[in-house]
Structure formats: structure tokens, C-alpha cells
Amino acid sequence: MLSFLAEAVQASWTLLNQAAFYILFGLLVGGLLKTFLSPAYVAKHLGKGRFSSVFKAALLGIPIPLCSCGVLPAAATLKKQGANNGAVAAFLISTPESGLDSISMTWALLDPIMTVARPVSAFISAAAAGLLENSISFEPPQAAPPSPFRMAGASAPAEPAPPQGFIAKLKAGVQYMVNDLWPDIVGWFFIGIIAGGVITALVPDEIFSAWLGGGLSSMLLMLAVGIPLYICASASTPIAAAFILKGASPGAALVFLLAGPATNITSLTVLIGILGKRATALYLLSIAVVSVICGLIVDAVYLSLGIKAAAVVGKHGEMLPDWLMLAAVLLLFALSVRPLLRGLRRRFSKAEKKPSCCAAQSEQQKK
């Protein structure tokens, strides 16, 4: 038992060391995007055009670091500001499947092929859902529909006045990173790090190589695991790295990276309120089909290049000097203490409990 705990702690510490600097970098860029990219500016490009708006929405969602729960208020705002259903669906898929924080972590914990394959696959699945929806039914934006958050017992938060000037925006971006963005995902990030370490120490390699070693059956099994799972893109990355190290094919890991963050049972009911039943069904279908196809393609790429994925996982995260990785870990811990303590107090209080990745968003809505 003690040897297992020691192995799990060591594996988790290795994952954390490799990921800390890159997640900080991704969070910083994500915070700056919040202040330099106006939601109103984004929304006005997503209502016109049956197909161009879909491509714009899919592309704009790639760098924004929001989970499948946190993206819902943003999508509802886009819908209210005039975005069509196809564009909203595309934004809802590409945003949680990717993000600059998770892309940075993919580079650190996986390899360059997966770093490229992840956002490209997210874009393809998002565009497929949006194009399919707008091909079947496209109507010019009408008056704002009733907010699905009112039906869910919450209301969309009002946007504060944006800061003016470069320095003010830079400061606001850092504040957003520290006070909103990181608290939204910190719990799930450390759960992912710990889960990755436990999987590395506990699960025999033979199980993963037998069930998830490649082929259509591996993709479908990982799809069945990922769709109902509640996990964000950053938390899914160390788990996917552990899967590959234990013998899962990179294509199966990619299916998990796409399906896990983009879907969960909790958010699907709200999606029906935003998009309707048909668009939500197309949303799930597009994610499932494109994830499996991209997974098979990725496996074929590794095979054609003669690369063994387990041999290259995490190598780029080790390129940083030890002192820089340790400094990043310490800074990450310092930023995590307050939101983790606040989350634990909230979880163990008698107040109504909410999913941790949405807790910060819910507080903002109440304000």
C-alpha cells in the first residue's frame, strides 16, 4: 500500500512539474483574451452568414479557456446578441474542447502531434455541428429568446464596462486570470493531476493495451467513457497522458480529450434550452462522429511515422530547467490556496452544492 501511494505521488508530482509553467502561460493569455477581445465584437460576427459565422465561431472558441459548464453563459450571451444556432453550437464545442491553457498542457504532457491534433479536431467537430445545424434550418436572428439560465434557476450576469488603455487591460486580464479563470478550473486541474498519478501507479499496462490499444472498438469505448463525464480540458490532459503511458493509443486518448470536456449530462439540459432538441442532438452526433474519425486518423499518423506515443509523452515538458519548473509549481500553489479553501468550505457547508467548475460563474451571476 505504501509503495503504491509513493508511486502515485511521484507520478502526480512529475505531471505537475511538467504542466505548471504551461498552464500558467495559457491562463495568462486566456485572461488577456477576456479583456482585449470584446464579447460584443465577437457576437456581431456570428449572426450574419449561414456558413461564415460557423467557421468564425469555431475558430474564436479554440483559444478561450472555458469548460463545458462555464461556456454556457458565454454562449447564451452570444445567442442573445444575435448569433445564429449554428454559430452558437460551434462555439459551444470548440471552446471547451480546446483553450490556450489545455493546448499548452498538451505540449508539456503529450507531444507535438497531439498538440496540433487537439485544436484541429476541435475546430472540425465544431464546424461540422454548426454547418449541419445551419444547413437544416437557418433563420435570421430574432428577438432574444428567454434565457435558459432563468429556467435553470439563475440569471446571466451583466458585463462590467471594459477597461480602457493597454495597461488597464493588462491589469484586468491578470486579475481575471487570478480571480475568475483559475478558480473555475483549479479543483478539476488537481483532480486530473492526482487521477493521472493514480492511473499510472494502479492500472496494469495490459488492461489499456488490450482494451484501448487502437481500432474502432477502442474509440467507441473511450467515447462511452468521455461523453457523460464531467471534466474540463485542462484536467483531462494529465489523465490522457496517463492513458497513453499505460498503453492506450493516442487516437483513443484524443477521443477522450474531445468528448470529455465538450459534453456532460448536467450541461445537456441547458443546451436544449439554448439550442433546442434537434440542435443538441446534432451537437452530440458531430462530437461523436468527428472524435472517432480524428482518433483513427491520429493513430494512422503515428503508425505511418513509426512513432510510439508512450515513448514521447511529456518529453517537451522536461525541456525547461528544473528551477523554472519548481518556481512555476510554487506560484501555481500560491494561486490555488484561496480558491481551493473557498471551494472546500462551500462543498462542506449546508448551502446548495453546485459543480465546482461552475461555482465561480454562479457567484458572478448572483452579483
pLDDT tens by residue, 304-347: 999 888 877 766 666 678 888 899 999 999 999 998 888 888 87
Nearest to 30 by CA among 75, 65, 82, 6: 65
pTM: 0.75
Q: What digits encode the pLDDT tens for the residues 203-213?
A: 777 777 778 88
In the predicted model, what is the mean pLDDT of residues 250-264? Answer: 88
CA distances from 91 to 42, 57, 73, 95 (A): 11, 5, 12, 6
The CA distance from 214 to 268, in Å, is: 29
Q: Is pLDDT above 50 for 156?
A: no
Tell me the C-alpha distance between 67 and 142, whole Å.
28
Enter the C-alpha cell of residue 275: 439550442
Output phi, psi for 139, to 5 deg.
-130, 140
CA torsion, ordered 212, 216, 220, 225, to nearest 10 deg: 20
Q: Does the pLDDT at position 28 exceed 60?
A: yes
State pLDDT tens for residues 78-118. Answer: 777 677 888 888 988 898 888 888 898 888 888 899 999 99
